[in-house]
Chain A
Amino acid sequence: MKIINLDHISSKPLIPEVKQAMIDAINNDYANPSSQHKKGEQAADALAKARESVAGLLHAKTPKEIVFTSGGTESVNHAIKGVAWANAEKGKHIITTNIEHNSVIRSCKRLKSQGFTITSVSVDDKGRVDPADIAKAITDDTILVSVMHANNETGTLQPIEEIAKITREKKIIFHTDAVDSVGVMPFDVQKMGADLVSFAANTFYGPTGIGGLYIRRGTMIWPLLDGGVQEASKRAGTENLLGIIGMGVAADQARQHMNSRLVHLEKLKSKLITELPNHIDEYIINTPLDYSLPNLVSVSVKYIEGESVMLMLDDEDIAVSTRSACATGSLRASHVLMSIGLDHADAQGTLVICYGVDNTEEDITKFLGALQNIVVTLRDISPLYVKKH
């Protein structure tokens, strides 16, 4: 059964090169990279090679600036809590925005219960934060600014370079959650200027359960996990070498094929945006087309609810994600969609279409055709649609 996967925001397939590297790694019977015997050294070499590949993807000055983690969530927790704990004597104020991923929001909330104060800067109706608002929020007590690079619900890109200029001048640590952009589009830490960057392997077709935190040399940060001296004492615990090897190969592939992938993704995005009005009417595109991820389009279809659309598309073997409150565990409307001014009913009809290298223009055509029929079916039974027409 061929399923058209337009839900790359939830998970991306492993590319063949990554699969092969991980199978080879299993057959290699790697030992613990911390062991000093031959098998240990062989593992340490594989670890070092992967770290170089990942450092290369981010243009880090040295591979030492890369710490492997269990994924984006751990990276974000490490960055925010690690900086807060290590710098608490300097100050206890943290600045973030109101469109962050829950890993940021909840890390901040946890710190709030430990005596830190949090300022959450609002975005405009396009979901973009004004760097001037960040500057205004800075106080003598501010130790950390955390702003995401690409939003996982709308694809909106934030002005990271401009914010980094402000934080650098004020000597405040700057973290960006770039989990949905690193490996999808060029990300040069030297140009972006952030001190800490969270990212995850699955974003660029590596395995899940593995990610990384870029820590600029000299950044004051505590580990999240205490124990052994792995990862230069920044992340204790025996390394997930299988995942790390997969991530290294995925990073090499991403760097090597970045341009051709971007061309492909932009083509699909443009097809989706241009042809959508031929299939449905009365919708809102939540993705600002001039500053957004190349692989994601968020669309709110009026008068219908997203989980129903998702289930009906699933019957047609098409996978998408919805931001409807009904489809989340918490049953709450998305804070991101609320922050850009969507009303509850429109937020309910929000689909996130995220595609990748494995998708074709044909996939987009099939999706649009299926969506057209589903929207008609659901609007036929919607009391909201009847009231408006």
Chain B
Amino acid sequence: MYSKTVMDHFRNPRNVGVIEDANGVGEVGNPLCGDMMTIYLKITDDVIDDIKFQTFGCGSAIAVSSMLTEIAKGKPISEAKKITNKEVANALEGLPKNKLHCSNLGADALQLAIKDYEARKEGKAPAEIKRKEAHEHNPDEKCYCPYCDIEIQEEAPFCKACQSDLVEDHH
């Protein structure tokens, strides 16, 4: 199910823990599917000197956190700001389709931690970061049931073919 790289990062996660004197902290969580992630940054001269994470979640959530810290470590924050969830997933040689939405939240936690750092620097309250919608597609694309792949009406509460509840996917 998981790639070798995912399993390697899951079995031997890098940069685990808390930075006591962190100057940027980002926490994201998804109570519905249950993954939670905290990123701690130690930034010196706008460069990520040290980064650590704590994660409550599945194999891919832990691997994502670990890979993210490897990508971000040593980067100036101007570059770290460009790191996306997709980039982390690609570095892990992909994640299962159904895990892309819920456990791939490492970059979100990092961006939140950077915003927290910047807010602290300016003496402001940290800004809220909004996670992307769980179900998204281009307006000109048709909408398909994620379970049985039959075409469905936008905003349909359940799939007429397989009866799957779609309310949570269409929020």
Residue ranges of A at the interface with B (Cβ–Cβ < 8 Å): 106, 109-110, 113, 303-305, 307-308, 311-312, 315, 324-327, 329-333, 344-345, 347-348, 380-386
* Minimum CB–CB distance for B58 against chain A, Å: 4
* A324-B54 CB under 8 A given contacts A307-B59, A380-B16: no
- Chain B residues with Cβ below 8 Å from A327 are 58
Q: Cβ of B61: which chain A residues have Cβ within 8 Å of it?
A: 305, 326
Residues in chain B near residue A113, CB distance under 8 A: 160, 163
Question: Interface size class for chain B?
Answer: 35 or more
Q: How far is the CB of A301 from chain B (nearest CB, A)?
A: 12
Residues in B neighbouring A348, C-beta threshold 8 A: 34, 56
- The CA of A308 and the CA of B10, in the complex, are separated in Å by 8
- Cβ B168 vs Cβ A324 within 8 A: no
Whether B59 contacts A381 by the Cβ 8 Å rule is no
Would you call the interface of chain A mostly helix, strand, loop, or mixed? Answer: helix
Please measure, in the bound complex, the distance between the C-alpha atom of A89 and the C-alpha atom of B37, giving whole angstroms: 55
The reply to whether A110 and B34 form a contact with Cβ atoms under 8 Å apart is no
In angstroms, Cα B59 to Cα A264, docked, is 34
Contact B13 A326, beta carbon cutoff 8 Å: no
Task: Write the chain A residue with the least CB distance to B60.
Answer: A326
With contacts A307-B59, A308-B59 taken as known, whether A382 is within 8 angstroms of B54 at the C-beta atoms is yes
B→A interface (CB under 8 Å) = 7, 10-11, 13, 16-18, 27, 31-38, 53-59, 61-62, 98-99, 101-103, 147, 158, 160, 163-164, 168
Q: For the complex, give the distance between the alpha carbons of A85 and B58 in Å.
A: 43
Known pairs A308-B10, A326-B102. 15 more at Cβ < 8 A? A106-B163, A110-B163, A308-B57, A325-B34, A326-B99, A326-B103, A331-B102, A333-B34, A345-B31, A381-B13, A381-B53, A382-B54, A383-B36, A383-B54, A384-B56
Q: Are B58 and A308 in contact (CB under 8 A)?
A: yes
Chain B's closest residue to A113 (CB) is B163
